[in-house]
Amino acid sequence: MLKHSDIISLIDSMVLALRKRDGIEDSLIIGIHSGGAWIAERLHHLLENPHSIGMLDISFYRDDFTQIGLNPQVKSSDLPESIEGQNIILVDDVLHTGRTIRAAMNELFDYGRPNSICLAVLLDREGRQLPIQADICGMNIHLAPHQQVKLSYVDNEFELKNISTKPSDT
Amino acid sequence: MNSPTANKHLETTADGQLKHFLSTSNHSRENLTRILELADSFISFGKREIKKVPLLRGKTVVNLFFEPSTRTRTTFEIAAKRLSADVINLNASRMSTTKGESILDTVYTLEAMHVDLFVVRDGASGTAELIARHLPDDVRVINAGDGRHAHPTQAMLDMFTIRHYKGAFENLKIAIVGDILHSRVARSQIHALRILGVKDIRVIGPKTLIPTKIESMGVVPYYDMDKGLDGVDAILMLRLQHERMEGQQIPSQQEYFYRFGLTSRRVALAASDAIVMHPGPINRGLEISSRVADGPQSVILPQVTNGIAVRMAIMSLLMGGQNSMGGKK
């Protein structure tokens, strides 16, 4: 549904919006595995951020793991720099129910107390189940409740795929 | 082998997922592999400053130990606490059972307090299974050692350690050394190795400590340690309960060490990169020399570390972490 060039220009627009924020030069960029990782890397590169990039795998922090199960290969979170007192840009691909972001913030607070967290997402879709909003968003999209999209990055090409199940399957 | 007839239907759900973990023998290769893979994910958490994850928050785990144990109980307790569960340790041999209450009455009483997971150790074979059969459908049981029958979490941490150092199981040569006859660890190791695809499994020990017809388990007995160790990739030592057997099954400690003690000379008969394992506690100078136990090929302490990650994996899988979506959302 979205091609590589579309996604690149969406990320460029996110960079423009991020640059307008105070203290952006000194923020820590942290991506959420796996969809947020590539976007975070690109933002990190385009913003010429001086800090090491961080990655979170929030699988062990999900509140719904008994419903969706545990991914057998959870990546370890990697936060190379202390987040204590830092301004953080938290990056994910799609903001939907808000549960991933809730879990990510819980995990972040296990590492320290950040000064602020700014949420940057590529796509914002409706269906929020928690009071969580994006501060920076590439694009708002409308999807039916049963539809799922997933960002992949293969051969240096971004691709946003529709991996929806039919309504009858859900 | 006088093992109780635990059945597959007790240990797995109708769609093949882990329900109780009472043995290694009643589980599929897929489920055992899943435990090893998830344990890999937990390894890195042990190195974090904050070692806890909120996965089992609000769940209650009871360590019900009818047989004394420090090491196993401690690793189960740490594993449950790192998953944020509430843990209660009951050393039941000193409690109600001495007042004449049956094991099941003790369990029913605890169940009435809404326990979610029992970790059970007993000197009698089949206790964990007995408890699993009498609990409501949503309560889980892990066997932390029952008599001579099984010690499946020890076997899984051994499998994890082997996989970590040696990779794929198919072409490995593995030797298990010591008191095979009385060892629940050996039994669980043999089943797990077979299920995971190891073809060359050797058991080494004196004739008095190796069951007759052990070949039916798919292993080859060796009564000469030097021959048995030839070219193996991992040496799995067992603890010799010498206090119980001297003069009966073994002639003397010195004689035993001479014939079946793991020395540097004997380690050199195995593959040059072979690993040496032991479930602990070790009897230095009886089944293993200090030089080997503390030597470069020994992975005895990493085994302990791995035991926590493996038990975290088993607990979180039993407590709901194995929906068919496999965490994809």
CATH of the domain at B251: 3.40.50.1370
Within-domain flag for B272: yes
B16 and B145 inside one domain = yes
- Rounded Cα gap, residues B306 and B316, in angstroms: 16
Q: In Å, how far is A73's CA from the nearest CA of chain B? A: 6
pLDDT band at A68 (very low <50, low <70, confident <90, very high): confident
C-alpha distance from residue B261 to each of B114, B206, B288, B292 (Å)? 47, 11, 5, 10
Are both B119 and B65 inside the same structural domain? yes
Residue B100, pLDDT above cutoff 80: no
Q: Is there a single domain that holds both residue B25 and residue B137?
A: yes
B 67-96 → A contacts, CB under 8 A: none
pLDDT of residue A158: 80
The model's confidence at residue B149, banded by pLDDT at 50, 70 and 90, is: very high
Comparison of pLDDT for A81 and A45, the residue scoring more: A45
Kindly list the structural domains of chain A, giving each domain's residue range(s) and its CATH number in brackets, ordered by start.
Answer: 24-66+84-146 (3.40.50.2020)
pLDDT at residue B96, as a whole number: 55
Q: Looking at the DSSP assignment, which residues form a beta bridge with residue B142?
A: B21, B119
pLDDT band at residue B98, thresholds of 50, 70 and 90?
Answer: low
Task: Judge if B223 and B293 occupy the same domain.
Answer: yes
Question: Using the beta-carbon criterion (under 8 Å), do B328 and A72 form an inter-chain contact?
Answer: no
Residue B2 falls inside a structural domain: no
Confidence of residue B8 (pLDDT cuts 50, 70, 90): low
Is the per-residue pLDDT at A43 higher than 60? yes
Q: Give the nearest partner residue to A65 out of B34, B40, B55, using CB atoms.
A: B55
pLDDT value at A3 more than 80: yes
- Inside any domain, residue B325: no
Task: Identify the band that residue A79 occupies on the pLDDT scale cut at 50, 70 and 90.
Answer: confident
Domain that includes residue B215, residue range = 152-300
Q: What is the pLDDT of residue B15?
A: 85
Same domain, B38 and B161: no
Q: Are residues B131 and B35 in the same domain?
A: yes
Q: What is the pLDDT of residues B180-221, one digit of tens each?
A: 999 999 999 999 999 999 999 999 999 999 999 999 999 999
- Best of A34, A68, A109, A111 to substitute, by most chain B Cβ atoms within 10 angstroms, is A68
Residue B324 lies in a domain: no
How confident is residue B323, by pLDDT bands cut at 50, 70 and 90?
low
pLDDT in tens, B226-253: 999 999 999 999 999 876 676 677 888 8
- From residue B77, alpha-carbon distances to A65, B64, B83, B96, B301 in Å are 22, 11, 10, 21, 18
Q: Which residue of A has its CA nearest to B50?
A: A110
Q: Going along B150-299, which residue ranges are E strands?
A: 173-177, 200-204, 220-222, 234-237, 275-277
Residue B145 sits in the same domain as residue B156? no
The answer to the question of residue B13 being in a domain is yes
| Residue B12 DSSP symbol | B
Residues of A in contact with B323 (CB under 8 A): 66-69
**Does one domain contain both B146 and B281?**
no
Residues of chain B with pLDDT > 70, as a percent, come to 91
- Does residue B255 lie within any of the structural domains? yes
Percent of chain B beyond pLDDT 90?
Answer: 77
Q: Best residue in A34, A74, A75, A78 to probe B by mutation, most B CBs within 10 Å?
A: A74
Report CA-CA distances (Å) from B294 to A33, B5, B276, B282: 39, 39, 10, 11
Interchain contact, B49 vs A111, CB within 8 Å: yes
B156 and B146, same domain (yes or no)? no
Amino acid at B191: H
Mean pLDDT score, A98-108: 94
Q: Residue B22 in 3-state DSSP?
A: coil
Domain count within chain B: 2
Q: Do residues B211 and B225 both lie within one domain? A: yes
* Placement of tokens 């909003």 in the chain: A133
Is there a contact between B54 and A70 if contact means CB atoms under 8 Å apart?
A: no
Chain A hits for B41, CB-CB cut-off 8 Å, are: 59-60, 72-76
The verdict on B188 and B249 lying in the same domain is: yes
Chain B: closest CA distance from residue A21 (Å): 31
At A66 the pLDDT is 77
Q: Strand pairing partners for A103?
A: none
Average pLDDT, chain A: 88
Residue B6 has pLDDT above 70, yes or no: no
Q: Is the pLDDT of residue B5 over 50?
A: no
Across the interface, whether the CB atoms of B326 and A72 are under 8 A apart is answered yes
Per-residue confidence (pLDDT) for residue A162, from 0 to 100: 76
Inter-residue contact B115 to B86 (CB < 8 Å): no
The model's confidence at residue B95, banded by pLDDT at 50, 70 and 90, is: low
* Cα B5 from chain centre: 18
Q: Which pLDDT score is estimated for B156?
A: 98
Considering chain B, what is the average pLDDT of its residues? Answer: 90
Q: Is B248 inside any structural domain?
A: yes
Closest to B117 measured CA to CA, from B145, B157, B71, B86:
B86
Mean pLDDT of B258-282: 97
Tell me the CA end-to-end span of chain B in Å, nearest whole number: 45
Q: What's the pLDDT at B328?
A: 45
B262, part of any domain: yes
Where on the phi/psi map is residue B326: left (φ > 0), alpha (ψ -120 to 50), or beta? left
pLDDT at A167: 54
Q: Which residue has the higher pLDDT, B50 or B144?
A: B144
The shortest CB-CB distance from A60 to any of B55, B322, B324 is to: B55
Q: What is the pLDDT of residues B14-66, one digit of tens each?
A: 888 999 999 999 999 999 999 999 999 899 877 777 788 999 999 999 999 99
Q: What is the DSSP letter of B147?
A: T
Which of the given ranges, A151-155, B117-121, B325-329, has the highest pLDDT on average?
B117-121
Say yes or no: B214 and B246 in one domain.
yes
Interface predicted TM-score (ipTM):
0.71
The answer to whether the peptide bond before residue B281 is cis (omega within 30 degrees of 0) is yes
Q: How confident is the model at residue B329 (pLDDT cuts 50, 70, 90)?
A: very low
Residues of B in contact with A76 (CB under 8 A): 41, 44-45
B327: pLDDT strictly greater than 50 = no
The arithmetic mean of pLDDT across residues A108-124, rounded, is 94
